[in-house]
């Protein structure tokens, strides 16, 4: 289960890695799309009784739609203004998840997600998380090496020079924002099924901070950074929890 959580966290960190490292965009509301994906999967699975694959696809689409709307506003800004606007949208979604009790369950969240019988074992879910994480990193590599990736990096290095060469900087950043949001939504959907629940904490500031720490631990200059950072963060978090429990016993 620990490795499964690490792979899903790495998938979550891929989104921020794409924006920070290659897009030059620092988002403080990274958890918004993770939470949207988790809630979408929970609602589709529990509310409509549909299967896990359908719920996972719904989590990707829901996060993508949210990224389209939020990104349209956020990519009009840059620097600290961009960062805090993403945080504002994340806090709005967090407030909705808390207060719209009839739809989201409020503080109780949405419980009762169940994986299919063929995915019931821990090993099966581990292989699913491994496959999805590797596929996400391969897709990230293709994005980086594609013309879109080079245009995105040009926009990061100098927006004015990129625009002078004919690159639509805002459109490139918006597209990257959408792709990154879909990555986070996929991670949120998988996390919801792994835990069997979706909570407002999935959209909280602390979750966004977690992703930032993972990316910084893994490094911005390498594509394997998300996995390394997720593993290091999970180990540090587990060790701190064990130390706290040991101290509390004493």
CB atoms within 10 A of CB 168: 13
CA–CA gap between residue 243 and residue 54 (Å, rounded): 40
Among the listed residues 17, 14, 16, 25, the one whose alpha carbon sits nearest the alpha carbon of residue 156: 25
State the DSSP code for 196.
Answer: T
- Residue 64 has a pLDDT of 93
- Residue 132 has a pLDDT of 85
- Residue 241 has a pLDDT of 66
| Ramachandran sector of residue 219 (left: φ over 0; alpha: ψ -120 to 50; beta: rest) | left
CB atoms within 10 A of CB 69: 12
Single pTM value for the model: 0.88
- Rounded to 5 degrees, φ, ψ at 204 are -75, 165
For every one of its 250 residues, what pLDDT tens digit does the chain have, with 9 covering 90 and above?
677 888 888 888 877 778 888 888 888 888 899 999 999 999 998 888 888 889 999 999 999 999 999 999 999 888 889 989 999 999 999 999 999 888 888 888 888 888 777 776 778 888 888 888 888 888 888 888 889 888 988 988 888 888 888 889 999 999 999 998 998 899 999 988 888 888 888 888 888 888 778 877 777 777 777 777 777 777 777 776 666 566 666 5
Element at 111 (helix H, strand E): strand 110-111
Q: Are 213 and 233 in contact (CB under 8 A)?
A: yes
Partners of residue 110 on adjacent β-strands: 198
Provide the greatest CA pair distance for the chain: 65
- Residue 246 has a pLDDT of 62
Number of Cα atoms under 13 Å in the Cβ half of residue 71: 23
Number of Cα atoms under 13 Å in the Cβ half of residue 248: 6
């Amino acid at each position: 289960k620990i490795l499964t959580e690490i792979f899903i966290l790495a998938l979550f960190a891929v989104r921020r890695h794409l924006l920070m490292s290659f897009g030059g965009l620092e988002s403080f509301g990274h958890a918004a799309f993770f939470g949207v994906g988790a809630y979408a999967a929970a609602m589709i699975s529990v509310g409509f009784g549909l299967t896990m694959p359908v719920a996972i696809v719904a989590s990707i689409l829901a996060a993508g739609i949210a990224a389209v709307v939020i990104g349209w506003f956020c990519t009009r800004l840059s620097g600290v203004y961009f960062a805090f606007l993403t945080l504002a949208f994340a806090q709005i979604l967090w407030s909705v998840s808390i207060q719209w009790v009839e739809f989201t369950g409020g503080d109780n969240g949405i419980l009762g997600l169940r994986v299919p019988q063929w995915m019931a074992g821990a090993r099966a879910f581990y292989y699913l998380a491994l496959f999805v994480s590797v596929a996400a990193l391969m897709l990230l590599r293709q994005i980086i090496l594609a013309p879109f990736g080079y245009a995105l990096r040009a926009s990061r290095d100098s927006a004015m020079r990129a625009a002078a060469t004919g690159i639509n900087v805002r459109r490139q950043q918006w597209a990257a924002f959408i792709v990154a949001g879909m990555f986070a939504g996929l991670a949120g959907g998988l996390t919801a099924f792994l835990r069997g629940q979706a909570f407002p904490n999935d959209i909280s500031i602390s979750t966004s901070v977690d992703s930032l720490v993972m990316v910084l631990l893994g490094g911005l200059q390498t594509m394997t950074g998300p996995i390394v950072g997720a593993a290091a963060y999970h180990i540090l978090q587990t060790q701190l929890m064990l130390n706290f429990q040991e101290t509390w016993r004493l």
